[in-house]
Structure 1
Amino acid sequence: MEFLKLFTLTIIRKNGIRSSIVNLLGIITLVYCLIYYYTKVGKSPYKTKLEHGMMRKRIPDALIIGVKKGGTFAMAKFLQYHPEVKIAVKERHFFENDINYAKGLQSYIENMPLSGPEHLVIERTATYFNKFTVAKRVHDANPNMKLILLVRNPIDRLVSDFLETQLYSHHHWSDFNNLVTKTYSDGRFEVHDNLWVGVDIGKYDIHYQNWAQYFPPSQMLVVSSEKFVEKPWEELERVQNFLGISIQITKSNFSSNTGNFWNIFCGPTGKSTCLFENKGRKHPELNETVRIALKDYYRPRVAAFETMVGMKFGWLEG
């Protein structure tokens, strides 16, 4: 500040007030132009290099494809702390939305983060898994795509899905039974999936088989949502190994589990990073008759899926 005073007084003494004002305005204009040129506002050589050289937007290397209400948001949230990972800001709904898909692959790429050759780019859309057109579209875009699939007890997933749907619809909890089951005039009672897509999502075997037509098991990692909640660092280690990146997120990044999964991750600053408050909401009591019917419905689906992926989940035992 003192330097600026002396500088201004020197100019005035040498040139007079009128000339000094002109000179000062010229200097201010020059400084402003330099600042404009070398910051984010302008096109500095450094920024141009980032956009058109080492850093660019491209097709993702990996997708978190689902399932809805299986922990995909938390997985993406945690992975964003990895220095080798760049994650799309939000779900892009490109491969399963016909309108978005018709805009072309370049429109999708424009929504990806800037990344360098040292980065791995990930996009998350939880509804990719259960849409039959998606697997082929993804393969056409990148046949080397790595796929992360989080799966959860299909009954718990179904209830959680309904509770979220309630937030954006006129449905109440009392409507749940009528959406997922049907009673016939002859007294038969069964689960049906033609009123709400939520029931269909839990048929993991059918949807996985569709993806397996285009991608080998080496490119598909299945993660248990229950294990992810219980010990997220263990599943994240599996994910990091699968993606071929260094193990940067470990148990040391997590504080002690207080029972709220969404409150236990600690970022690089040491601060607790919380997910949205509506994560992990408490489930209302499910009608026992409906629960039994759902178990009978999903049991063969789960058994077939476990055989496909070589994992045992123990969801519907007992």
Structure 2
Amino acid sequence: MAPDFIIIGAMKCGTTSLYRYLGAHPEIGLSREKETDFFLAKQNFAQGLDWYRAQFTSGARIHGEASPNYTKHSEFPGVPERIFSTAPGVKLIYIVRDPIDRFLSQYHHHAIAGEANQDPAQVLNSQAGRNYLECSRYFKQLSRYLEFFERDRIFIACFDELRDRPQALLRQVFDFLEVDSAITVDGLDRIHNQRSSLQGLPQWYFNARRSPVLRAIKARIPRPLYDAMLNQLRRRSQVELPRLDEGLRAELKDLLQDDATQFRDLAGMPFNNWSL
């Protein structure tokens, strides 16, 4: 059983929410854990196809997963080739947001998790900052997939639509996946994995969740129970985030403008709410 679709990113663009919403459709089955990271050579590809197939529950008409690391080519090269060689008929979903907001959201995400120690003024001079930039270069990331997949195999979604008009966007995604688009999904008023929901979690949680043991346990715990456990862990005090000035935004605009222009042409979408 190969996946029928994969949400390939981008990180901090609503992939968790989209994954959860799709999982509420009765014809769609998802991987037990959102991010299998199977197609990463440094992660799980060596586990083999039997391991990958075992990540999916049976019984649904189509199956899919969501791994935003699949559009981090500078960190994890070779992913489109591996996906194509394994599942050449797969459909891909790429959800994006304002490239500058996405960069800053990833920086804050890593700061909350204790993984970003750079001063905001120096973040662009760090390897981490360069990786954040690459994730916001949507044209560059998607161009690698277009070397293997036809454009009509890729659905480009906008985070703003998912947040503001989720049911309308889901109908388009359901049509793309060829499942019943008349299905109404509940719980669309909640955006998952938001910064505000992460800031109150203790530091040890972010270290522990990278553990293969915890990932295996998490995959077997019903989602409502896992969410309830996280709520118990949250503290009233929240991690203070680095202050970001307009100078950084201006520099990011210069660095990302050309890619954003090319991506608009590729997607055929205006992205009118973007800042560049």
**Shorter-chain TM-score above 0.5:** yes
Is 1:149 aligned to residue 94 of structure 2? yes
1:44-123 alignment to 2 at 5 Å?
58-90=1-33, 91-116=35-60, 119-123=61-65
Gaps of 5+ in 1: 1-57, 183-191, 264-270
Q: SS of the counterpart of 2:269?
A: coil
Change (3 A) 1:164 1:194: closer
Q: 1:165 aligns with which of 101, 110, 115?
A: 110
Range 136-145 or range 195-204, more displaced: 195-204
The one-letter amino acid paired with 1:208 is L
- Structure with higher RCO (Cα < 8 A, 6+ apart): 2
1:213-292 alignment to 2 at 5 Å?
213-250=147-184, 253=186, 261-262=191-192, 286-292=244-250
Is 1:126 aligned to residue 68 of structure 2? yes
Q: 2:144 aligns with which of 199, 210, 228?
A: 210
Number of the residue aligned with 1:304: 262
- Poorly superposed stretches of 4+, deviation over 6 Å: 274-278, 281-284
Identity rate of aligned residues, in percent?
25
The one-letter amino acid paired with 1:156 is D
Gaps of 5+ in 2: 194-223
User: Aligned equivalents of 1:96 and 1:102: distance in 2?
Assistant: 9
User: Aligned equivalents of 1:308 and 1:98: distance in 2?
Assistant: 30
The one-letter amino acid paired with 2:68 is A
The one-letter amino acid paired with 1:290 is L
Is 1:316 aligned to residue 275 of structure 2? yes
Larger Rg: 1
What is the aligned length? Answer: 232
Q: How big is the shift at 1:120?
A: 0.6
Q: SS of the counterpart of 2:71?
A: coil
Q: Tell whether the 8 Å contact from 1:85 to 1:120 is kept in structure 2 after alignment.
A: yes
User: Aligned equivalents of 2:240 and 2:134: distance in 1?
Assistant: 23
User: Aligned equivalents of 2:275 and 2:4: distance in 1?
Assistant: 34
The one-letter amino acid paired with 1:225 is F
Number of the residue aligned with 1:186: none
Instruction: Encode CA deviations 1:266-286: one digit per residue, 9 max, x unaligned.
Output: xxxxx9xx89889xx998753
Q: How big is the shift at 1:201?
A: 0.6
RMSD, matched Cα: 2.8
Instruction: Encode CA deviations 1:198-249: one digit per residue, 9 max, x unaligned.
Output: 1211111111111011111111000001111111111111100000000144
Q: What TM-score, normalized to structure 2?
A: 0.75
